[in-house]
Each structure stands twice: as structure tokens, then as C-alpha cells.
Structure 1
Amino acid sequence: MKRTIKKVAVIGSGIMGSGIACHFANIGVEVLLLDIVPNALTDAETKKGLTLDSKIVRNRLVNEHFQNALKSKPSPIYHQKFASRITTGNTTDDMAKIANVDWIIEVVVERLDIKKMVFEQIEKYRKPGTLITSNTSGIPIHFMSEGRSEDFQKHFCGTHFFNPARYLKLFEIIPGPQTSTEVLDFLTIYGEKFLGKTSVVAKDTPAFIGNRIGIFGIQSLFHLVKELGLTIEEVDKLTGPVIGRPKSATFRTVDVVGLDTLVHVANGIYENCPNDEQHELFKLPDFINKMMENKWLGSKTGQGFYKKEGRDILSLDLDTLEYRPAKKASFATLELTKTIDKPINRFKVLVKGKDKAGEFYRRSFAAMFAYVSNRIPEISDELYKIDDAMKAGFGWENGPFEIWDAIGVANGIEMIKDEGLSSPAWVSEMLGAGISSFYSVKEGATYFYNIPNKTQIKVPGQDAFIILNNIRESKKVWSNSGAIIQDLGDGILNLEFQSKMNTIGGDVLQAINKAIDLSEKEYQGLVIGNQGANFSVGANIGMIFMMAVEQEYEELNMAIKMFQDTMMRVRYSGIPVVVAPHGMTLGGGCEMSMHADKVVAAAETYIGLVEFGVGVIPGGGGSKEMALRASDLFRKNDVELNVLQEYFLTVAMAKVSTSAHEAFDLGILQHGKDVVVVNKDRQIAEAKKHALLMAEAGYTQPIRRSDVKVLGKQALGMFLVGTDQMEAGKYISEHDKKIANKLAYVMAGGDLSEPTLVSEQYLLDIEREAFLSLCTERKTLERIQFMLTKGKPLRN
């Protein structure tokens, strides 16, 4: 049976329900968002003479929740205009409308009795065959469908989105006793392909996979922090980016999520898992109970493990339960990993540490390894699902079994024994059979140890993805210190940056030119893409700073020209070049995208020209490109100055899109040319498809442009008056004005006496001249140095 999702109904408009509704709107689906009718008027409604029968009152709850969601940061929606895809209503007047939807998602309060009442109401109107799912974080699915019709039960299961639904990729699918295989298969594919999620089919056990393991990890740390006498800052230092976890690490994450949410799930596991060998660990420590009593729940109550007072961040002393100034944490063991770029390669060093950090890692990893291995087959039959759940639901770069592999399976067993814990027999049997790791890579595919078969089998669902980790060495064509070129097959190469934060320096520019050379000689097309945390944070400003400080202006001029020439090579090569940005795509990364034949952007792409923040203008063709794009939009009888001003402000205000869809508004991505993919894991494969399509359609090398209309003095005068007024009003500093005037000169095409058609090279030359002159300014050097040392822009 072919099933399509054109319209969904979301019942329950709280934080989670509104978030889910927004994410379906993100992908183009029409949404009906419903909530209950209020049972009393507000004072404001009474003053207005409204009654409980007024539609505005009956839809008050759903509309308030929805509007609060749209105002929240980070935004749950890719673009505010997508909100028009969501229609609101209430469960009393509008429930009959669910007869016209393809999928009904229940997201009401976590109480079984209330959920059952909602399902009873749904069944009155739901048409047979409609999907019906519950977004629960822990209530057993089999309890919910009791007493429902056969068709209801066949099409019913749990679908657990993690909050926030837009950003966290885990999509747990939990079958009920009668859920059909067709429904499970459909939801798995739909979650991956359309919602951009990592779909994980979980067993109907308390807290499912993600929260069962995640809450165990947090509870384990709650107990360990006291035993080892660590502060909360120290634990957050040890459990953050150094081990490939989010910056919020442990305690800051709990503050953001809400302590009450964590306690609710932990209590549920404690009550419903009496046979869990770590049952007592889920009992809440005294300091957590005290915090709950005090309503110190985190961000929602203004204080939790951390508290902000003015500009100061205070942290909670777990012994005295009093707040004190946050202290910087440092450990000798962490210093040993500073030269190791990838977290997966740090674990072997971390567990050998001789200080308190080393002991912390040995004890916490031993507990985690023992726990996850003992959860098979209770919560999952396959170990890779546990890793997928932790990576997608909790933002871990590596799952527990991947970390165990990195430390060594045999070493992990010894660590478990040292802690007085035990791992199940299947782990020792695996080693005894000569299989030394849980995972292996063969012919570009990942294999995992399958316990019943006692052998490694291929992780399913990989065919839609290209995983660069799996082909990096086996398909390598060429590499240098900053990048690697791989053969993706079918005549398409991929260029992957490998510099720190994927910055673009001389080695990366060399690699881009090499990749184009190779593609033009022996291949059909090129993809420039990587699967790091971010596509690229831009040019290597450290290199620019050193040249400028040493006053090596000739060398700096040549370096800027090489950057410009390389971007133009991307634009005017003999083969299609597709750039695949994701995450932070700033400065030079943005310029590269703007010069591609096509951009295949991940939906979560934060792209912009941010050079103003370090005291310069875009110098790799970005300023030129904005002038060119404005020129292409000029129409007869248009107010051309207004069009140019819009593009000027995008650069001058260093605007960065909060999604790929917003980048179209900024003129950085272009409608009809560039595309957006929701699932980042599919991005490289999708980019390859587009490169191949262009090549096979008969790609023709573009002709260099010499028809860019610039407005000269007419535009320059307007810009200079504007920057004078901004400085006079103290909106910008004297140096801001200087940078803006340089940009104005470039985008106006200089001080030409009348509108003129010029070449791209003309604009590139004046762009480079402006960039170079700003590098001679002391205040620009101060800005670059501040960014290099502090990681944030300086206003001077």
C-alpha cells in the first residue's frame, strides 16, 4: 500500500506538541493543531465582554502555546512564513476535522487515563487506515491501545520525538502488540527521509532506549560527583566537548531540560524496572530531592545547578546547597588530549589518566559499558540502536559501544571488573570467537556484532547515505594537511576539509584547485562537502593576522588573490561543482557556496558573510558576488538603489541565516538553483546525485561575466550619507563606518560618474584592494586578535 502524508493532526499544543507541529510545517506538511477549551475567562477577556462561547476564548490555549513556540529561541520553525501551514483549533469544536488527516499525533499530558480519554474521542472521528501515534517518553504503549478497535491497534504505535523536535534527531518508534509491520516500515523510512531523523525502533520497555540509557548516565554522574568530591563545573568540563558531547555537558543540560522532567523519567524507571541490576542507582540523591523542594528546576525557574545574577554565573555547591561564583575547572589528563582533534581518539588517553579525571572516566565508562551491554536484549536486540539513540537523542558524537571499541573491548571488560560490575556472557563470547570489536567497516559499509548470529552483519539502511568516515582511506584519491579528495563513484569526486574547524587556508585552497584539476581531466563532477560539526567557519584569520602584523602586504595580497581565483575556479570550472554546506558556514565557507553551480544545503545551515566582525569586508569574492546578485535583480524602472541597499545591509550587518530556508531571503541561496535537504546524513549522497545529473545533462563551462551593472557615485553617495548618520547617532563606531564605506565603494563599483557595466574581475580587484587596506588598520588587527583569543567579535 502506498501511503503519503499530506496533513497531520497534533493533539496537544504544549512545548512538545507545538514543536512537533512546527517541524511538520518545516517539511511542507499541512498541520491541524488542537488543544482543550479553557474552563474560565481571564480578566482581560472578561473586561472585553467575551464569553466562554467566543471562538477567541475557546482557542485561547492553543493559540497562546503556538505563538509562544514561534517566539522561542532557538526557533522551532525554519522560516516564520511556514507558520501559515498550521491551523489551530480545539478538541471540542474541531475534532471532527481529524477525519481528513493522514496521521494523528497525540501529545497530551503524560497520564494514561487522559491519553485513553483522548484516544476514545479520536476513534469517533478517525477514518480507518489513518496512522495514530502517541508521543510519550515512558508510558507503556500496550496500555494505551487497550480497548481500541482492531484497525486502531493495527495503525497505532508510539513515536517519541525528543525536545526540541526540530533540532534533536532521535525518532523512537515503539510498536504496540498489534502494530502492523507496514506501519513500522513506513514510519522508519518517513522519519529518516522526510523528517530528517534517525529512526530507531525500540521495544516497549520503560523509558525506551534513549532515556533509559541517558537517565542512567546522568544518575550515575549524580552519585559519582559526590563520591569523587567533584564540583558541577568539573563534571561539566569532563563531560562536554572534550568527549564529543554538547557544550552544555551534564548539569547545564539538566538546567535547560528541567530537573522536574529528569526526575519524572528517573522515578518512572525506578518504579517500573525492579529487576534492573542498577535499580538503586535510579533513586534520587538527597541534593536532588532538596532542589525539587526548593523549586530549583533550572532555566524555567531561574536557577538550578547554575544561577545567573546580573552578569555573573553562580554554581551550586552540592555539599552546602549554596550558590557561589563558578570556578574554572582544569585537569592534567585533559591537557594530554589537546593535540588530539577527534574525540573518538581521546578515550584511550582519558581512561589512563593518573588524576581525579582519569578515575572519573574509568568509573563512569565502566558503569556505562556494563549497563548498555546488560540492556541487550531487554531494550534492543541490536547494539547499534543504542548507539544511534544516544547520538541522535543526546547529541553524543560517539555511542557507548563505539567508545568501548575505541578503548578496546578487552580493556573495557577489565575496567568493568575493577568496579565490581559484570558484563554479559555475549561480550566475552564475541572476543573468544576472535571478533575484537563491536563494529567494523568493509567496502564502505559499517558492520555490527549481531549477538544471535555470533557474527558481524551490515547495519541496515546505509544505502541511502554516503558515510565519509567509511570511505576516507579506501577511496582516497589525493590528500594534503588540510583536505582529502575521495572517489564517490560514478565519476564524482568529493573534497572533504580536515583543517581545524574546517577553516580555509592555503592547504585547503590548494586542495580545491587539485580537486577541480582531477575532475576536469578524469571525472565528471565535484562535490565539496564534509560531515564535521560545521561546514566551515571561514578563512584562516590567524594566517591573515600574522601577515598583516609582519606587514607582509605583498604576500597578503597574493593570498587574497589566490582565495578569489579559487572561488572563481569553483564558478568557472569545466565540470559541475556542488557545495554541501551545513551547520556554521561563515565567511569563506559562505563565499564558496555562493560560487558553486549548485548548493545542496542541510536545513540546519547557519550561513552568512561575517567578515565585519573582524574588521574587514568579504574578500574572497563575497562583496563582488553580492553586487553581482543585486545587479541581476535590477529591473527597468525599479528603484535600483533599494535593491543594492538590501544586499549591502546583509553584508554590513553580518547577517547569518538561522536555517537554510532563511538564506534565500538574504540572497545567499538562490531559488530555482539551490536545494535544501532535511536529513544531513543524506546530504553528500544528494549532492552527488545533483552533480551527476548536471554532468549527464551536458554541463557547459560558464562564460565569465562582464555585464555587471554598477551604479557608481549615485549609490556611493547614498551609502556614505547613511554611514555618516549611523555614526552621528552612535549606532556604529568610527571604525565600523570606515569598513562600511569600503564595502560601499566595492558594491557601488567605485566612484564612477554614471551606471556602468563592469566585469567580475574589476569588482574583485577593488574588493581585494579594500580588504588589503583594512588589514593595515590597527583597529582591524585588534578585532582579529580579539576573535582569535576570545572567540567573539570586538566593537572598537
Structure 2
Amino acid sequence: MSKHLQIRKVAVLGAGVMGAQIAAHLVNADVDTVLFDLPAKEGDPNGIVNKAIANLGKLKPSPLATKERAAAITPANYDQHLELLRDCDLVIEAIAERMDWKRDLYGKVAPFIADHAIVASNTSGLSINGMAEVLPEAVRPRFCGVHFFNPPRYMHLAELIPCKGTDKAVLEGLETFLTTTLGKGVVYARDTPNFIGNRIGVFSMLSTMVHTEAFKLGFDEVDALTGPAIGRAKSATYRTADVVGLDTMGHVIKTMADTLPDDPWREYFAPPAWLKGLIDNGALGQKTGAGVFRKQGKEIQVLDPSRGEYVASSGKAADEVVEILKTRDPKEKFAKLHASDHPQAKFLWAMFRDLFHYSAVQLEDIAETARDVDLAIRWGYGWKQGPFETWQAAGWQQVAKWIQADIDAGKAMSSAPLPGWVTDGRDGVHTAQGSYSPSAGKVVPRSDLAVYQRQRFPDPVLGEQPRHGEVAYENDGVRLWHDGDGIAVLSFKTKMHTVNDAVLDGIQEAIGVAERDFQAMVIWQPSEPFSAGADLAGAMGLLKDGKVEAFNDMVANFQATSQRIKYSMVPVVAAVRGLALGGGCEFQMHSARTVAALESYIGLVEAGVGLLPAGGGLKEIARRVSQASGDDLFAGLKPYFEAVAMGKVATSALEAKQFKLLREDDVVVFHQHELLYVAKQQARALAESGYRPPMPGRNIAVAGDVGVATLKMMLVNMLEGGFISEHDYEVSSRIATVLCGGEVDRGAVVDEEWLLRLEREHFVALAQMPKTQERIMHTLKTGKPLRN
């Protein structure tokens, strides 16, 4: 196996839910992919696969970064196309969770697998060694498990499970491919049932169900307690079960019961009576329209297991418990939970106690280090902290004493003793040097594999000390810092990285510092989003006080900041992930280059609040169209106009390229923790190539009055058809006017200043209209748009 594993072509075996979505994510990443399944019994032999590919376009959220990517998947079936496997560098098996079916398939495909190809099973919990037994001796060193979490495009976790003979170079090559090409967070798991994520995650759900019953709480009440209130996903416990599918949940529980005969908690590995009842009745959760929850008209209903019927959902966390959960210091919070007599608090303590107990007892069996468990749960289940981090933050020794006392008193779910290392005087399992490994009996540092050198800020676990660079400039809005490598990095300090006066002034100052002391500058945020746009609340304050002049000046300053980014003497590269809306989108449009994570949601959304983009965005579109469209300016403007007037947000960086909000030569990266590294490399390459800012835009040909009239005609039809409101018409007409350069002749030539003045005038006029102000206030209050 060469040091650099080259994966040019991949085969996915099985076009079910997971197989088809894995194939989708591979083509998102420009990997040539063949998707196999059984031949159809009638019609086109590839019918099963073609149907699965067609279905990808209907799924929400979409597994495809753009709809067109579906056509890149090559359909195939096992009867006609096994020869195609000979060209594949990686074969991922993703058929149903049946060991006999998987082993049969391996027997069928083994003769066609290339001598260098890696073979991996995407199983969620079956034995990797059990599968390896049926493979030819020569293939076994190239075989392992790769467990993608569902949905594979969005879930960060991929568990890598070696079998006894897997070659280390194979694992490292595959780990690198999964990390950089597919953007995954890789965790090594031991070959034990359900691996790490589902072993701990499903146990946590099972113990939650046990304690729900013990403390006589409602399912909706438990979801109010076990979601964001304790740093977990919004779908909490029972909604998660509905989304995953109650049949799937039942299957995973059965797998645990069948394959873990010696687990000290085994008596609990059975679906509760209510769960069995729902499955038997075909109420399998979201996919069947009813599960633990169901929607009746507008009302959300929840199952009441004592009555065996659905009732209106009204359960919530008690005020006393909400106050405990708001406690900032985790030690104090857990002490209050442990001491409280409130049933909800007692439930939460019992749930955490049994999770900590189970994780400690199983750690040595399922993983190399505590870090692997915590990252698997964070990346696979969306928790802010894994079980060991939560325990360590809450005071390791004190919590261990409480757990032991509950075990001794028979209150814990199992009487299994805590492992000796838990109570050996330690303060926890994570340190600045690494995380504890029971099998090695010491702290083990993170992997030093080359791919991880690209991650300047990898996801830190508690106790790890991220390095925060040296500050070169700072004000209330921004921080400019560097690593001593000649590239300055600018980060915003505001909530959601919104743009206020301090950010605007800070960007302009920072560019001055970068021009003086650095080769280039990157705008990058240590956490999502890139920027949710202008600070609307602050801007509205000026108008409320009647300070129209000051409001106009603020807009002018926004435009000046965009222009400062564009005409900086050193390249400014925008490193985008998450939302880049409004002003955030405009800043990246003005940068020398954008490096965007695949999961970037970019859009000029001002129309939704009754405004138009006025940070230079419309000026920039007019300039791009003038440069690219030759004589037919209108054809170039039309798709932009539709995107801006409708406030469209791209659902991926690749779609943002289709919307032309990203440029063709902008770079898309799949791993968000590699974003800063790649942006710095791009910035350095631009600087080393003798970078000069573009020439000022003095000769911009515009569509003029004819363009405005043509766009308005489209709007009149929409208004008369009832598709837009009078105020939507007003806003969109003004967007059309600015994009077309105002009331000038078709093909007239204007400069950037002309377009910026138009943007500013129309923005300020719209901002003073009562309907726009209603929209803004509604959005600030509810976070949702108002169509008035």
C-alpha cells in the first residue's frame, strides 16, 4: 500500500437509504462513484438503483450539494456489472444489517476486487471480524468497517473499525480520505457490537426510557429536559427516536440483546412495552406520520402510555429545574441536581449517573481512549460535551463518590463496580497532554497523522488547550491575530458575527495593519456562522431616534468597508462556513478569493426584511455581469435578480457557485477544521504571485431603463397573480433599479460610485417605510420573516 492512497473511483454496494446517500456525498466531493444493487425483476435491470438515485432529489435536507450531482452516479447491478469493480480503489458495502446477506455478497464480489482496492463495510454494529472470515486471505489486510452516521452528508462522525489483520497503512490512507475528501471526523472503534457511538448513545436513550417510567414523567416532559437545556440536540430523546425510526431503534436494541450476553446492563436491552406496541401497530415515527409524537392538524400530540392514546403535548421543564440547569458552574449545577427532591431533577441525576457508570465500565472494551468516546457522541449525536467531559467538568471525584454511593444503595441500574482507574485520585480523563487509555494505562495524545496538521483548531475536548495566536490589533468588534507565519487572521467578536460600527471600523483598521505588517489577511471565525449580516437592531435604533443622516453614514461606512476589502494592497481571503447572509455575503464577494466549507449557506437576504443589499453587493453583481455578459446584460442579470429579490440562500457552497455568489475559482473544502489552513495557503499563493488589487470599476455597462422596465414587467405579473405583496413589489423594483444602473440608457457606462450611491439611496428610503420597519421588528422578535 503506497504512502499516499489514491482513491479515484469508488463502488457502493447497496442502494438503500444509506448506500444511496453515501454515493451522493462521494459525488458531492467529485469522486467517481458506481452504485450497485440487485437487478430489477422487470423492466430496466438497473431499475432499483435508478429509482434510488431519483429519490435523492426528493430528500430533505438534500444529500446532494446540487441537484445535478445525481447524474454523476453510475448505476449498476450485480448480474451485469461486477466487472466495473476492477477499476475501483474503494468498495463500500452498505446493504441491510444481515450478517448472512453481507457474507454472501462478499463471496460474489471478491473475485472482481482489484489487488490494491480497500473493502469496507458500512455496518452500524455487526462484527467486522465475522465478515472478514469469508474474504480471500489476500483481501483481509485491506478490509475494515467504516460506519457513516445518517445522513452521511451532514453527520460529522465516521467510525473506523479495523479487523484483526487490517494493514495500518490502509487505515491511515482511508482516514485521510475520509477526513479531507469527505470532511468527516474519524474515530477508531474496537470491533464490539454497535461500536462506540451507538453503544453509548443507544444505552443513553434506553436508560432515559427506564428513568422516564421510574419517575413517572411524560415523553414530552423528558424531551424538554434532555435537549438544548443540557447541551444536546433539539430533537432530544423521543423526537430523535421518531426521526431515526422506532423500528430501527427496536432493531438496534435487539442487536445489543443478541450480541452482548455478558453486559452487566443486559436486562434492560429490551424495548419497553409501549415501544413494542407502537412498532407492532406500524407507528414507526416520522416516516409513518406517528410514533411517540404525531401531528393532528396544527396540534402536536404525544403518546400517553398509561392510557395507550395520544394527548395534547404540553410537558415542560419545571421552573425549579430550569433554574438549576441555568447554573453556569457545572460543579454547582450537578451538586444542585444531586441534592434536589424534584422528580425532574432526580430523573436527570439518575440519567447522568447511569450514563457515566456505563461509559466508564465499557471504555476499555469499546475504544482506545476517553477522547474517542466523547468525540463519537458529540459528532454522532450532536451533544455539546461527551459523557466523560460532562463528568470531568462536574467534578470527577465528587461525582464518582455519588455514583459509588448509588451503586452501594442499589439505586443504579447495575451493580457492576466502577473500574479502579476512576477512583485512583485523578481529576478526570482529559488533560493538555492527551486523554486516558485504560488499555495502555496512560494518557494518549491525539494522532500525529499528517492530515491532522491541516487542522489549526481541531474540535478540542475539555482539558485541551487551543493555541490562540498573537494579537496584532483589537477593538470592541474584531480581533486580528497571527501565528508568526506572515498571514493575519481577522475574527469578529459580535454575536452571530453580525456587523456593527465597531466591526466596520475594525475591518478597515485591520486591513491597514495587514498592509503594513503582513503578506495577506484571512477573515475567519472560530465558530459558525461566518456572519449573519448587519446588526439590524442597532441600525433601527438610529432611525427610531430620527437620525437619518447618521443612518446614511452607517450605510456609507458599510460600503466603504467592502471597498476596503476589495482594494486592499494585500490579498484578503474570506474563509466561510455556516451562514454568510447579507453583509456577510457581500464581504466575501469583495474578497480576493473565498474558501468556503461545503456546508456554507450564502445569500443576499435583505429583501426578506424589506430592504435591499447595500454593502456593495448589487454594485458587485452589476460589475460582474458587465465583465461577463457581453452585449446581453439582461440575460446575465436575470438569475441574480431572481435570487436577490426572492432572498434565496444557497444550500451548499457548490450551489452558491451556481447562484454566482461564489466565483468559479473560489475554493470549496469539505472539512470545516481545514478551512483556515486552506484559506491561508490560498492567501499566501496570491501574495507570492505578486498580488495587485483589481483596477477601480470605472467602465461598468448597465442594462439601464430598458432593463428596469423588463424586470418590473415580471414583477407586475407576479403581483397580479397574488405571488407577491405590494411591498414585495416596492422592494424588488428598487433592487431592479440599482442592478440596472438606474434611469439611464441601456448600455450606458457608469462607475462604482454611481452604483453605490443608488444602493444607499434606495436602502435608506426603504428603511424609513413603515412596512419595512414592521418586517424588521417582526424578524428581530421572532427570528422569522413577515410577508406584509
The TM-score with structure 1 as length reference comes to 0.92
| 1:696 corresponds to | 688
For structure 1, which segment, 327-336 or 772-781, has the greater mean C-alpha deviation from structure 2 after superposition? 327-336
> Could you tell me which of 425, 428, 434 is aligned with 2:420?
425
1:455 Cα deviation after fit? 5.0
Look up the equivalent residue of 1:660 and give its one-letter code: A
| 1:22 corresponds to | 24
Match of 2:365, SS state, is coil
> Could you tell me which of 429, 434, 439 is aligned with 1:438?
429
> Could you tell me which of 160, 173, 198 is aligned with 2:160?
173
| 1:48 corresponds to | none
Look up the equivalent residue of 2:301 and give its one-letter code: L
Identity over the aligned pairs, expressed in percent?
A: 36
| 1:730 corresponds to | 722
Q: Is 1:336–1:349's contact at 8 Å kept on the other side of the alignment?
A: no
Match of 2:57, SS state, is helix
Q: After the TM superposition, which residues 598-609 of structure 1 pair with which residues of structure 2 at under 5 Å, given as runs?
A: 598-609=593-604
Q: Given the alignment of the two structures, is residue 718 of structure 1 paired with residue 730 of structure 2, yes or no?
A: no
> Could you tell me which of 518, 527, 532 is aligned with 1:532?
527
Q: Is 1:484–1:497's contact at 8 Å kept on the other side of the alignment?
A: yes
Q: Given the alignment of the two structures, is residue 660 of structure 1 paired with residue 656 of structure 2, yes or no?
A: no
The structure-2 alpha-carbon separation of the partners of 1:448 and 1:514, relative to structure 1 and needing over 3 Å to count, comes to: farther
The structure-2 alpha-carbon separation of the partners of 1:332 and 1:526, relative to structure 1 and needing over 3 Å to count, comes to: farther
Look up the equivalent residue of 1:698 and give its one-letter code: G
For structure 1, which segment, 11-20 or 221-230, has the greater mean C-alpha deviation from structure 2 after superposition? 221-230
Match of 2:363, SS state, is coil
> Could you tell me which of 356, 364, 371 is aligned with 2:358?
371
1:345 Cα deviation after fit? 6.7
Q: Given the alignment of the two structures, is residue 762 of structure 1 paired with residue 754 of structure 2, yes or no?
A: yes
1:759 Cα deviation after fit? 2.1
Match of 1:252, SS state, is helix
1:523 Cα deviation after fit? 2.1
The structure-2 alpha-carbon separation of the partners of 1:494 and 1:368, relative to structure 1 and needing over 3 Å to count, comes to: farther
Deviations 1:499-553 (A, max 9, x none): 2222222233233233323222222222111242422222212222332333321
| 1:275 corresponds to | 262
Q: What is the distance in 2 between the residues matched to 1:662 and 1:750?
A: 29
| 2:678 corresponds to | 686
Look up the equivalent residue of 1:466 and give its one-letter code: R
Q: What is the distance in 2 between the residues matched to 1:119 and 1:179?
A: 17
1:303 Cα deviation after fit? 0.5
1:77 Cα deviation after fit? 1.3
Q: Is 2:532–2:584's contact at 8 Å kept on the other side of the alignment?
A: yes
The structure-2 alpha-carbon separation of the partners of 1:239 and 1:704, relative to structure 1 and needing over 3 Å to count, comes to: farther
1:601 Cα deviation after fit? 0.3
Q: What is the distance in 1 between the residues matched to 2:362 and 2:475?
A: 43
1:577 Cα deviation after fit? 1.2
> Could you tell me which of 322, 333, 336 is aligned with 1:352?
336
Q: What is the distance in 2 between the residues matched to 1:249 and 1:455?
A: 34
Q: What is the distance in 1 between the residues matched to 2:315 and 2:247?
A: 27
The structure-2 alpha-carbon separation of the partners of 1:514 and 1:319, relative to structure 1 and needing over 3 Å to count, comes to: farther
Q: What is the distance in 2 between the residues matched to 1:453 and 1:110?
A: 33
Q: Is 2:469–2:482's contact at 8 Å kept on the other side of the alignment?
A: no
Look up the equivalent residue of 1:787 and give its one-letter code: T
1:360 Cα deviation after fit? 3.8
Q: What is the distance in 2 between the residues matched to 1:321 and 1:545?
A: 52
The structure-2 alpha-carbon separation of the partners of 1:349 and 1:371, relative to structure 1 and needing over 3 Å to count, comes to: same
Look up the equivalent residue of 2:744 and give its one-letter code: L
Q: What is the distance in 2 between the residues matched to 1:345 and 1:610?
A: 38
Q: What is the distance in 2 between the residues matched to 1:776 and 1:213?
A: 55
| 1:511 corresponds to | 506
Q: Is 1:291–1:297's contact at 8 Å kept on the other side of the alignment?
A: yes
| 1:245 corresponds to | 232
Q: Is 2:602–2:656's contact at 8 Å kept on the other side of the alignment?
A: yes
Match of 1:255, SS state, is helix
1:768 Cα deviation after fit? 1.3
For structure 1, which segment, 126-135 or 251-260, has the greater mean C-alpha deviation from structure 2 after superposition? 126-135
> Could you tell me which of 761, 771, 785 is aligned with 2:763?
771
> Could you tell me which of 448, 451, 459 is aligned with 2:435?
448
Match of 1:485, SS state, is strand
Q: Given the alignment of the two structures, is residue 706 of structure 1 paired with residue 698 of structure 2, yes or no?
A: yes
Q: Given the alignment of the two structures, is residue 781 of structure 1 paired with residue 773 of structure 2, yes or no?
A: yes
> Could you tell me which of 454, 457, 462 is aligned with 1:464?
454
> Could you tell me which of 56, 60, 66 is aligned with 1:79?
66
Q: Is 2:633–2:702's contact at 8 Å kept on the other side of the alignment?
A: no
| 2:607 corresponds to | 612
The structure-2 alpha-carbon separation of the partners of 1:210 and 1:639, relative to structure 1 and needing over 3 Å to count, comes to: same
The structure-2 alpha-carbon separation of the partners of 1:531 and 1:363, relative to structure 1 and needing over 3 Å to count, comes to: farther
1:282 Cα deviation after fit? 2.4
> Which segments of 5 or more consecutive residues in structure 1 lack a partner in the other structure?
40-51
| 1:646 corresponds to | 639
> Could you tell me which of 113, 131, 135 is aligned with 2:118?
131
The structure-2 alpha-carbon separation of the partners of 1:526 and 1:722, relative to structure 1 and needing over 3 Å to count, comes to: same
Match of 1:283, SS state, is coil
Deviations 1:35-77 (A, max 9, x none): 11234xxxxxxxxxxxx4x5x1x22212112211232111111
The structure-2 alpha-carbon separation of the partners of 1:478 and 1:776, relative to structure 1 and needing over 3 Å to count, comes to: same
1:479 Cα deviation after fit? 4.2
Q: Is 1:480–1:507's contact at 8 Å kept on the other side of the alignment?
A: yes
Q: What is the distance in 2 between the residues matched to 1:347 and 1:792?
A: 37
Q: Is 2:364–2:439's contact at 8 Å kept on the other side of the alignment?
A: no
For structure 1, which segment, 729-738 or 616-625, has the greater mean C-alpha deviation from structure 2 after superposition? 616-625
Q: What is the distance in 2 between the residues matched to 1:507 and 1:305?
A: 48
1:713 Cα deviation after fit? 1.1
Q: Is 1:348–1:406's contact at 8 Å kept on the other side of the alignment?
A: no
Look up the equivalent residue of 2:656 and give its one-letter code: A
1:484 Cα deviation after fit? 3.2
1:250 Cα deviation after fit? 1.9
Q: Is 2:215–2:344's contact at 8 Å kept on the other side of the alignment?
A: no
Match of 1:352, SS state, is helix
Q: What is the distance in 2 between the residues matched to 1:454 and 1:105?
A: 35
Q: Given the alignment of the two structures, is residue 362 of structure 1 paired with residue 349 of structure 2, yes or no?
A: yes
Q: What is the distance in 2 between the residues matched to 1:212 and 1:663?
A: 38
Match of 1:603, SS state, is strand
Deviations 1:647-696 (A, max 9, x none): 11110011111110011111100012x10001111111111121222222
| 2:738 corresponds to | 746
Q: Is 2:85–2:112's contact at 8 Å kept on the other side of the alignment?
A: yes
Match of 2:303, SS state, is strand
| 1:795 corresponds to | 787
Q: Is 1:502–1:534's contact at 8 Å kept on the other side of the alignment?
A: yes
For structure 1, which segment, 268-277 or 591-600, has the greater mean C-alpha deviation from structure 2 after superposition? 268-277
Look up the equivalent residue of 2:654 and give its one-letter code: H
Deviations 1:90-130 (A, max 9, x none): 11111222122111111112111111110110112223232
1:718 Cα deviation after fit? 1.4
Match of 1:375, SS state, is helix
> Which segments of 5 or more consecutive residues in structure 2 lack a partner in the other structure?
none
1:170 Cα deviation after fit? 1.2
1:334 Cα deviation after fit? 6.8
Deviations 1:232-281 (A, max 9, x none): 23322322233333222222221111011111111211222222232223
Deviations 1:258-309 (A, max 9, x none): 0111111112112222222322232322221222222221111111122122
Q: What is the distance in 2 between the residues matched to 1:619 and 1:333?
A: 47
Q: What is the distance in 2 between the residues matched to 1:669 and 1:337?
A: 46
1:481 Cα deviation after fit? 4.6
Q: Is 2:488–2:514's contact at 8 Å kept on the other side of the alignment?
A: yes
CA RMSD of aligned residues (A): 2.3
The structure-2 alpha-carbon separation of the partners of 1:97 and 1:403, relative to structure 1 and needing over 3 Å to count, comes to: same
| Aligned length, in residue pairs | 767
Q: What is the distance in 1 between the residues matched to 2:575 and 2:7?
A: 27
Q: What is the distance in 1 between the residues matched to 2:481 and 2:347?
A: 39
1:400 Cα deviation after fit? 1.9
